[in-house]
Amino acid sequence: MIGICLDRVSKKYGSQTVLHEVSLQVDRGEIYGLLGANGSGKSTLLRIAAGGLRATSGNISTAGSTGYVAQKFSLYDDLSVEENLAFWVRCHGFWGVRSRAHVEEVMARLDLVQFRKQRAGTLSHGWKQRLALAAALGHRPSILLLDEATSGIDPEARRQLWLILQECAQSGMAILLATHHMDEVERFQRIGYVREGKLTGVSPAEARALVGYGGGVACGEK
């Protein structure tokens, strides 16, 4: 069953075309990985898929609501973990008892109950990323979009995040994720390589060859 489908999506900034007729489908239960150098167009593609940025041409269809985890932590440092989650759940139209139930559910699922009253700004980077993921999952989306959400966190926190993502996929979510970590390639059901705004489907071996994988090293780190 289709989760999200992009059909010949293009994006121009002035005279610069940053996405060229990108077509892509992610099924429910599938994890699709986006690879590519910095500036190739991955974030633009994810922002359009999330509905935050308008494509210049092409169509996007989704089988439900989307959750989006941006590259940069984008929650409120001064609000507690619980307050941040309540805010995002309410932004998606859930109030009162339902809002509280969603917040409790996602805090339990992502092991955030221990930090309930802690201000988001005081969390470690790994826990901030987990909070950002919780905020994206709080309204129970069918599609999850992640822009380098696993970058810059320690290996154990990354492993934990991946366990959550795999659970999400098993529960029927469609996941589209941009990464620089070549060791994550094996976790994807399908891989797309973005070069100068054009997307090509590749195998794990092709992906490694394209980015000159030297073994265990994240490619293209900023």
* Residues in touch with ligand ADP (CB under 6 A): 13, 18, 36, 38-44
Least separation in angstroms between residue 83's CB and ligand ADP is: 30
Q: Which of residues 13 and 216 has its CB atom nearest to ligand ADP in the complex?
A: 13
Q: Which of 154, 134, 139 is nearest to 80 (CA)?
A: 134
Q: Which of residues 16 and 170 has its CB atom nearest to ligand ADP in the complex?
A: 16
Q: Which of residues 18 and 164 has its CB atom nearest to ligand ADP in the complex?
A: 18
Distances (CA, A) of 218 to 58, 101, 109, 155: 32, 38, 28, 12
Least separation in angstroms between residue 44's CB and ligand ADP is: 3
Residue closest to ligand ADP when measured from CB atoms: 43
Least separation in angstroms between residue 144's CB and ligand ADP is: 17
Least separation in angstroms between residue 100's CB and ligand ADP is: 36
Least separation in angstroms between residue 106's CB and ligand ADP is: 27
- Looking up tokens 């822009």 gives 147
Q: Which of residues 43 and 150 has its CB atom nearest to ligand ADP in the complex?
A: 43
Q: Which of residues 36 and 141 has its CB atom nearest to ligand ADP in the complex?
A: 36
Least separation in angstroms between residue 176's CB and ligand ADP is: 13
Q: Which of residues 3 and 36 has its CB atom nearest to ligand ADP in the complex?
A: 36
- Crossing angle of helices 125-137 and 155-170, rounded to 10°: 10
Q: Which of residues 40 and 84 has its CB atom nearest to ligand ADP in the complex?
A: 40
* HEC string for the chain: CEEEEEEEEEEEECCEEEEEEEEEEEECCCEEEEECCCCCCHHHHHHHHHCCCCCCEEEEEECCCEEEECCCCCCCCCCEHHHHHHHHHHHCCCCHHHHHHHHHHHHHHCCCHHHCCCEHHHCCHHHHHHHHHHHHHCCCCCEEEEECCCCCCCHHHHHHHHHHHHHHHHCCCEEEEECCCHHHHHHCCEEEEEECCEEEEECHHHHHHHCCCCCCCCCCCC
